[in-house]
Amino acid sequence: MHDGTRVMAGECTTVFEGSREREQRGDVLVVVKPDNTVLVHDAEGYQPVAWLTRAESVAVEDGVVTARDGGELLRVVAHEEHGSARFPASNAGVPVADCPDCAGTLVRTRGSVACTACDADYGIPSDATVTGGRCGDCGLPTMRVERGEAFELCLDRDCDSLDDRVRAAFDREWECPDCDGDLRVIRRGGLLAGCEHYPDCDTGFSFPSGLVDGECACGLPAFETAGGRRCLDGTCGRT
């Protein structure tokens, strides 16, 4: 998010109506984040004295901040405003590389790799490891993802599709345990090995994060994962 964070400092009255009725007065710092989270901080500690997370609406006008979310209202009125400003804001994360599109830095944040300066944002699997490599086509960093094999691919799914790579490696590699069909690599909510005869046969298994390691006693493949060896069928106890 790059809409900016608004801040206001002053002697204020803060009123909260809703789940926690409260009125306070003092010199405070009011922070309005781009996702409409409003925080009111006083002189002590890191915990705000009042807050409303991701409010439905926020209005800032003439020293008054009003945030509403359902039946809850947070209102801050400055009797004496010491100062106010708007500053750039972005997600903060672990730096992984320079952005190839601008002078910003790509950082790993909550479920994605995003730029601190432009709108570049690439969703990645939670178990992916961002490598030191670069994509030969677009220049973005590469990531390593384990789905039966270890795949190194571009952060941009439009440039290099994890689904296509897994499909090329494992589509029709295993037989359905419940009928005479093959297991196809499909995406239905998540990445699955699902029976080709769906919906007549609805057998399907989520692809574990790990590497294929032989065969389970049930006949399906076994995977070596961070949590230990397991069957493709997560409910099977015979691995």
Q: What is the mean pLDDT of residues 128-134?
A: 92
In three-state secondary structure terms, 167 is helix
Q: What is the pLDDT of residue 89?
A: 85
pLDDT at 1 over 60: no
Mean pLDDT for all residues in the chain: 93
Question: Which of the four pLDDT bands, split at 50, 70 and 90, describes residue 169?
Answer: very high
Q: What is the mean pLDDT of residues 3-17?
A: 94
Q: What is the mean pLDDT of residues 57-67?
A: 95
Q: How far apart are the first and last CA of the chain?
A: 45
**Which position has the higher pLDDT, 171 or 117?**
171
Q: What is the pLDDT of residue 189?
A: 84
pLDDT at 64 over 50: yes
pLDDT at 117 over 90: no
Q: For residues 213-232, b (16+ Cβ closer than 10 Å) or e, as one string?
A: eeebeeebbbbeeeeeebbb
Q: What is the pLDDT of residue 2?
A: 47
Question: Which of the four pLDDT bands, split at 50, 70 and 90, describes residue 212?
Answer: very high
This prediction's pTM: 0.71
CB-based contact 203:228 (threshold 8 Å): no
CATH number of 5-87: 2.70.180.20
Name 229's Cβ contacts closer than 8 Å, sequence gap at least 6.
213, 222, 223, 239
Q: What is the pLDDT of residue 239?
A: 64
pLDDT at 237 over 90: no
Domain-wise residue ranges, the chain: 5-87, 94-159, 166-231
Name 3's Cβ contacts closer than 8 Å, sequence gap at least 6.
34, 89
Strand positions, DSSP E, the chain: 5-17, 22-32, 38-41, 50-52, 57-61, 64-69, 72-87, 94-98, 105-108, 112-115, 121-123, 129-134, 141-154, 183-188, 190-195, 204-206, 210-215, 221-225, 228-231
> Distance (Å, rounded) from C-alpha 105 to C-alpha 128?
19
